[in-house]
Chains A and B, each alone.
Chain A
Amino acid sequence: MKNYNHHLAKQLILKFRTYSIFFFCLALNHSSSYAQISKTFTKEIEVQPGVTLVSNVPAAIGLNMSGTMSSNNTKSRYSFSGKNGDVRVNILKDLEIETWDKNIIKQETLVTIKAATNEDARMVMDQLQLKLEKGADNRIVADCNLNIALFLMKNGFFKADDCEIQLDNGRKYAIEYLELETRLSIPKSINVSIVGKKNCTIRLGELNGDLDLDLKYAEVFGTNVRNLRASLKSCYHVFFDQVEAADISSSNSYVKIDQVGSMKIGSQSLNDACDLPHLRNQRSKSAQTKYKLGTVGILSVNDSANDEIIIDEVGEMSVKNTSYTDFEIDRLNTSLLLEAKSSDLTISKIAREFSQIDINNSLSTIALFFETGANYTLKVNRNNYTEGLNDTWTKVSQDDDDKDVYKIGKSDKGGLVSINCDRCKFDIH
């Protein structure tokens, strides 16, 4: 009996040893099955003022996925998991462009790769290249995703996640996980052009050059820019502190600029990225966008439909080819020429020194409030159906266009207000 017990104990110990060796091997196998390495790719090139940096957006990397996947994105991360919830691709969506006084463009891209072995991960890392070179056309192309063209993932009912990256030379490499983070530092004096159809957040420092944006689903937080040209679609947060000259066409967006020298709205067609193919020809150059502007020197609205334009203070303003766009202006200093349809207009204060207001509109509400002591001549076409015009004004004459002419104020001097608005409601004080 004693012998038997001894034998049993020996057997149990042996069994336990075997299991521990088995589990140890399993753990070792698991830990050694994936190797993760990180590397920051950095490149600097010296440039002269006047060159243009052309950049894509971080999430522009192509994705080709089939099978079970889930996205666990956050506001700043573009992240996808595979079959068992393991994160397979993780890209920082923010593109921070710092500007400095040095004549150097610097790109820093942090890449993290997980592969089957350390050698595999290193081999893939060795194939990645940061190409930041000056082209013959004075343009420098920055690719936030280095030379990675595509991330591929496949899985199935009996198949685990099979991930690869495809480089721009067509070569594919098996990996387990990819992470990218890019940051740019540029001279203040150069021009920047950013094209992106995927969601991203762009943060840009002060720029003395031109900024060209062709964006969809993006957020832009800019500071001071000399010339801004933007084609935007569904960009609900586009902010700038100060722009010397802006030319913006956009649809379904929100644009806020605190101070702008001259601004054009809807002067250029929206780029392809901003159009839905089957409706391209039916749309205005600026539509369903809210523009919130602080101080504007000259504003020119060329083609707008159902926008909302809110301005603190504007010097000169001209509006044409516009329908259903409403204007709300706190102060007008010099002149306004408006040719529109069904566009409501409210100007809370028109400066005493204004020179001209010319309104051609229909089916609208026009509210004009002149600064105290303003003298002006008012011409109104009374053949149109109108409501709210002051009957106490003294008509002084009738002009060649059949408009009634009134003198408002004590002096004969002052600006000229000409209104031709059919089926309109007025509030003029």
Chain B
Amino acid sequence: MNDFEKYLQDNKQKLEPDHIDQRVWLSIENEILRAKNKRIKLFVKALAAGILLLIGSYALHSYHHQNLPPGEERILAEYDLTKYEFTQQVSFKKQALLKATVPQDKIDDLQILLQQLEFMDGQFQDYRLYIEENGYQEFIGDQILNFYKSKIELLDKIQKEVEKINYYEKLQPSSSKAVDIEI
């Protein structure tokens, strides 16, 4: 304790004023309250901004999500067609075809079927567009069921034709080199 502090302690009684003006205390209290309110206001503002930001981003996300074209899986789920595992079957059959080869001079023979496969992929875009424009309609579910059956039949047919070509190629080999099927 230094000399000044010691002096204040010793003369505490003398130094304390007999009467304190109420206005001074009020002004001090107001000053403290104002500082407190400022902090609360700042906190409320930050909270409101946060909430607004959350609502905004949610609204933006939902709007964007609503305007996105529905994906294949979503469409199949909407029509309760996922149980048939069509996409898995198609993918499996396509993988098998990707491994197959045919003599180069026979690849043209398969073009009609390969184009039909390409056409069918375009067909699904047509369903998607119809759904976007007209909503999920019951008949589109029936169409998609038939579409996948046809697509699987088509993939089976391509596989069968490839096997047929290669069967006769084995019996009567040509000089043509084996090439991959592009699907």
Contacts and interface: CB of A to CB of B under 8 A. Distances in A.
B25 interface: no
A78 B147 CA distance: 22
A252 B150 CA distance: 8
Contacts of B147: 234, 252
B109 A341 contact: yes
B113 A324 contact: yes
Nearest to A201: B139
Interface residues of B, number: 35
Nearest to A93: B139
A71 B135 contact: yes
B168 interface: yes
Contacts of A127: none
Contact of B112 (A74, A284, A385): A284
Contacts of A74: 138
Contacts of B157: 306, 324
A279 B168 contact: no
A75 B113 contact: no
B65 to A, nearest CB: 12
Interface of B: prevailing SS: helix
A342 B137 contact: no
A75 B172 CA distance: 54
Interface string A304-348: 011000000000000000011000000000000000011000000
Interface in A64-115: 68-71, 73-75, 78, 80
A288 B66 CA distance: 34
A71 B130 CA distance: 12
Nearest to B143: A234
A423 B140 CA distance: 41
B50 interface: no
B134 A423 contact: no
B108 to A, nearest CB: 11
A288 B142 contact: no
Interface stretch (B29-37, B91-99, B115-123): B115-123
Given A252-B147, A324-B157, A385-B171, A75 B138 contact: yes
A279 B119 contact: yes
Nearest to A197: B130
A342 B161 contact: yes
B39 to A, nearest CB: 34
A78 B137 contact: yes
A70 B136 CA distance: 8
Nearest to A362: B109
B154 interface: yes
Contacts of B138: 73-75
Contacts of B14: none
Contact of A385 (B130, B146, B165, B168): B168
Nearest to A342: B161
Nearest to A254: B146
A283 B114 CA distance: 11
A419 interface: no
Given A236-B146, A288-B150, A305-B112, A276 B133 contact: no
Interface in B141-166: 142-143, 146-147, 150, 154, 157, 161, 164-165
Contacts of A78: 134, 137
B48 interface: no
Contacts of A234: 123, 143, 147
B122 A75 contact: no
A279 B118 contact: yes
A139 to B, nearest CB: 29
A258 B168 CA distance: 39
Contacts of B133: 63
Interface string B8-37: 000000000000000000000000000000
Contacts of B164: 342, 363, 423
A27 B164 CA distance: 75
Contacts of A71: 134-137
B59 interface: yes
Nearest to A76: B138
A63 B133 CA distance: 8
Contact of B135 (A73, A287, A323): A73
Contacts of B139: 73, 75, 199, 217
A69 B116 contact: no
A4 interface: no
A217 B144 CA distance: 11
A294 B39 CA distance: 88
A382 interface: no
Contacts of A217: 130, 139, 143
A282 B168 contact: no
A232 to B, nearest CB: 13
B72 interface: no
Given A234-B143, A363-B161, A363-B164, A278 B115 contact: no
Interface in B59-74: 59, 66
| Listed residue (B123, B138, B157) with the most chain A CB atoms within 10 angstroms of its CB | B138
13 contacts: A63-B134, A73-B137, A217-B143, A252-B150, A276-B122, A276-B126, A279-B118, A306-B112, A306-B154, A306-B157, A324-B112, A324-B157, A363-B164
5 tightest Cβ-Cβ pairs between the two chains A and B = A71-B135, A423-B168, A73-B137, A276-B122, A199-B139
